[in-house]
Amino acid sequence: MQDKTKIIKVKKNAHGEITDVMMENGNVYSIDDAIMMAKDNLIENVNVGRSKNGREYLRSNPNGTKNDNLDNLPVF
Protein backbone atom coordinates (compact mmCIF):
# COMPACT_ATOMS: atom_id res chain seq x y z
CA MET A 1 0.00 0.00 0.00
CA GLN A 2 1.31 3.38 -0.98
CA ASP A 3 1.39 6.23 1.53
CA LYS A 4 -0.50 9.39 0.75
CA THR A 5 1.48 12.46 -0.22
CA LYS A 6 0.75 16.14 0.24
CA ILE A 7 0.85 19.06 -2.21
CA ILE A 8 3.20 21.78 -0.94
CA LYS A 9 3.64 24.08 -3.98
CA VAL A 10 1.88 24.85 -7.24
CA LYS A 11 2.82 26.21 -10.67
CA LYS A 12 0.37 28.52 -12.43
CA ASN A 13 0.00 29.68 -16.02
CA ALA A 14 -0.46 33.30 -17.12
CA HIS A 15 -4.20 33.03 -16.40
CA GLY A 16 -3.58 31.99 -12.79
CA GLU A 17 -4.67 28.40 -13.39
CA ILE A 18 -2.72 25.65 -11.63
CA THR A 19 -0.81 23.60 -14.22
CA ASP A 20 1.52 21.52 -12.02
CA VAL A 21 1.87 20.56 -8.37
CA MET A 22 4.89 19.72 -6.21
CA MET A 23 4.58 17.05 -3.56
CA GLU A 24 6.32 17.04 -0.19
CA ASN A 25 8.93 14.62 -1.56
CA GLY A 26 9.83 17.08 -4.35
CA ASN A 27 8.13 15.17 -7.17
CA VAL A 28 6.28 17.37 -9.67
CA TYR A 29 3.13 16.26 -11.47
CA SER A 30 0.91 17.86 -14.08
CA ILE A 31 -2.51 18.87 -12.83
CA ASP A 32 -4.04 16.05 -14.91
CA ASP A 33 -1.77 13.48 -13.24
CA ALA A 34 -2.55 14.97 -9.82
CA ILE A 35 -6.29 14.67 -10.53
CA MET A 36 -5.80 10.98 -11.35
CA MET A 37 -3.76 10.53 -8.16
CA ALA A 38 -6.50 12.23 -6.12
CA LYS A 39 -9.09 9.89 -7.64
CA ASP A 40 -6.90 7.00 -6.51
CA ASN A 41 -6.83 8.53 -3.00
CA LEU A 42 -3.04 9.09 -3.12
CA ILE A 43 -3.03 12.78 -2.13
CA GLU A 44 -3.99 14.12 1.31
CA ASN A 45 -6.65 16.79 1.83
CA VAL A 46 -7.81 17.18 -1.77
CA ASN A 47 -10.74 16.06 -3.89
CA VAL A 48 -11.78 16.30 -7.52
CA GLY A 49 -14.52 18.71 -8.49
CA ARG A 50 -16.28 19.21 -11.81
CA SER A 51 -16.96 22.62 -13.32
CA LYS A 52 -20.18 23.53 -15.11
CA ASN A 53 -18.54 22.77 -18.47
CA GLY A 54 -17.64 19.27 -17.24
CA ARG A 55 -13.93 19.87 -16.74
CA GLU A 56 -12.43 18.22 -13.68
CA TYR A 57 -10.28 20.19 -11.28
CA LEU A 58 -8.40 19.63 -8.05
CA ARG A 59 -9.50 21.39 -4.89
CA SER A 60 -8.65 21.35 -1.21
CA ASN A 61 -11.01 19.62 1.18
CA PRO A 62 -13.10 22.21 3.04
CA ASN A 63 -11.76 22.87 6.53
CA GLY A 64 -12.49 26.54 7.24
CA THR A 65 -8.86 27.57 6.63
CA LYS A 66 -7.88 29.49 3.52
CA ASN A 67 -4.11 29.17 4.06
CA ASP A 68 -4.00 25.61 2.77
CA ASN A 69 -6.20 26.17 -0.29
CA LEU A 70 -4.33 25.20 -3.45
CA ASP A 71 -4.49 28.77 -4.81
CA ASN A 72 -2.80 30.03 -1.66
CA LEU A 73 0.14 27.60 -1.66
CA PRO A 74 3.63 28.88 -2.60
CA VAL A 75 4.48 28.81 -6.30
CA PHE A 76 7.53 27.19 -7.85
pLDDT in tens, 17-38: 999 999 999 999 999 999 999 9
Q: In this structure, is residue 32 part of a structural domain? A: yes
Q: In this structure, is residue 53 part of a structural domain? A: yes
Q: In this structure, is residue 75 part of a structural domain? A: no
pLDDT tens figures, 12-21? 999 999 999 9
Q: In this structure, is residue 72 part of a structural domain? A: no
The pTM is what? 0.90
Q: In this structure, is residue 11 part of a structural domain? A: yes
Strands annotated E in 1-76 = 7-12, 18-23, 28-30, 46-50, 56-60
Q: In this structure, is residue 67 part of a structural domain? A: no
* Tally of domains within the chain: 1
43: domain range?
A: 7-61
